[in-house]
Amino acid sequence: MGYVAIQGGEKAIEEAIKLLDFLRTKDENLPPLSVETIQNQLHFLHSRVLSEGGIYDPELVSLAIKQSAGDTLEAAFYLRAYSSTRPRLGETPIHRSSNMRLIRRISAAFKDIPGGQMLGPSSDYLQRLFRFELLDECPKNFREITKNWLKDLPKTNLPTSFPKVLDSLRKEGLLPPITQENQPPFDITREPLIFPVPRSAALARMARSETGSILAIAYSSMRGYGSIHPTVAELRVGYLPIELPHPLTGELTEIGEVLMTECEIIAMYDAPDTGEKPTFGLGYGACFGHNEVKAISMAILDRNLQKGAKNGAEHPSEDPEFVLMHIDGIESMGFASHYKMPHYVTFQSDLDRLRTTQKKQ
């Protein structure tokens, strides 16, 4: 049985798109959802799409969320498609996260850290109970409440950055020295993943992975399908200044800043076979936006993949091919969604084989 042309198919597709827009705007009594509202009031949703889309443009992220009616995978798909059409104008040098303008900074490894713990904006310490007053929230009253929250906040003598927690351990020789790969960072937007891949490729892949996917595989390691039981040395959320060479002078010039989440974990050391002193193992995670679960999961898997590359993968969470090929939300969604497309020919073949087999029996 061959494919059958269906008349009116294009018209039906056009109407389906119109119905999607109608579904989003059918209540005429509600004002249209602005991109500013999405960016400023749906903070964590915005950050999730920002990191999974792999392009730092807060306004376009809000537009993608609005256009997709809140479907995070679809929104990230819009951003990936858009970024593939844009020219590359330059490359930044390596940036040090110690220069971040922090809004949140905590450590689970130490009670007292240089500069102190900074809880910042987080739901970690809230009871998971409904606040029913939000059902009828007046914008004016909300602004007055927030002003009262911040009225006693000092406006001077506040540090803009803090030292890294791991620096003290590194000075004691409890951590391996910082090393830098001789080869340039792997560009996953222009080069296919051919295994084995360098660590920079794995980090780049995980940085724009789908949050739920990378969490699920990291969780399997936490439960025992992996040997990494980490301690969060430092978790940072803040704005990282971005510098580019000036087109005329070549001098590094700050062009803006990006909101990022960074996590560094410590894992129990393995006794080395080379006779060197044992040190703690490290895992690293960083992504656009405010997405702490993703950064922690990324750091855990980074350490898992390092161990798997060195000693051989004993668990799926230590296998680079298994991890890196199953955490990208766009690819996963595309493969699942393609089953909604016509499969008339293949299914007709399955029907013919089954009917023939039944007749033979």
- Of 61, 83, 105, at which residue does a domain stop? 83
Give a yes or no: residue 41 inside a domain: yes
210 in any annotated domain: yes
Among the residues of the chain, which ranges form H helices?
9-25, 35-41, 43-53, 58-67, 72-83, 139-150, 166-171, 199-207, 211-222, 292-311, 320-324, 329-337, 344-360
One domain for residues 71 and 176: no
* pLDDT tens for each residue of 245-295: 998 998 999 999 999 999 999 987 766 666 678 889 899 999 999 999 999
- pLDDT (mean) for 92-121: 92
Same domain, 110 and 21: no
| Residue 74 counted as domain residue | yes
Is residue 320 one of the residues assigned to a domain?
yes
| Overall average pLDDT of the 290-315 stretch | 94
User: Does 192 lie in the same domain as 72?
Assistant: no
Do residues 258 and 311 both lie within one domain? yes
Number of structural domains (the chain) is 2
Confidence of residue 86 (pLDDT cuts 50, 70, 90): very high
Do both 191 and 58 map to the same domain?
no
State how far the alpha carbon of 302 is from the alpha carbons of 28, 145, 179, 199, 255, in Å: 48, 42, 16, 8, 30
Q: Locate 1 and state its tokens.
A: 């049985």
266 shares a domain with 118:
yes
Question: 53 with 112, same domain?
Answer: no
Same domain, 183 and 323: yes
Q: State the greatest distance between any 2 C-alpha atoms of the chain, in Å, as a whole number.
A: 87
Which is higher by pLDDT, 282 or 140? 282
Could you tell me if 62 and 165 lie in one domain? no
- Do 76 and 114 belong together in one domain? no
342 lies in some domain: no
In a domain, 237, yes or no: yes
- Within this chain, do residues 42 and 107 fall inside the same structural domain, yes or no? no
Q: Are residues 270 and 310 in the same domain?
A: yes
Q: Helix crossing, 292-311 with 211-222: angle to 10°?
A: 60
Sheet with 101-106: list strands edge to edge.
Answer: 101-106, 231-245, 252-267, 281-288
Q: How far apart are CA 213 and CA 48, in angstroms?
A: 13
Structure tokens given for 237: 């959320």
Q: Which domain holds residue 45?
A: 10-83
Query: Last residue of some domain: 52, 83, 114?
Result: 83
Candidate from 16-20, 51-55, 131-135, 312-316 with smallest mean pLDDT: 131-135
Calpha distance 310→337 (Å, rounded): 36
Q: Is residue 208 part of a domain?
A: yes
Question: In this prediction, what percent of the chain has a pLDDT beyond 70?
Answer: 92
Does some domain include residue 179? yes
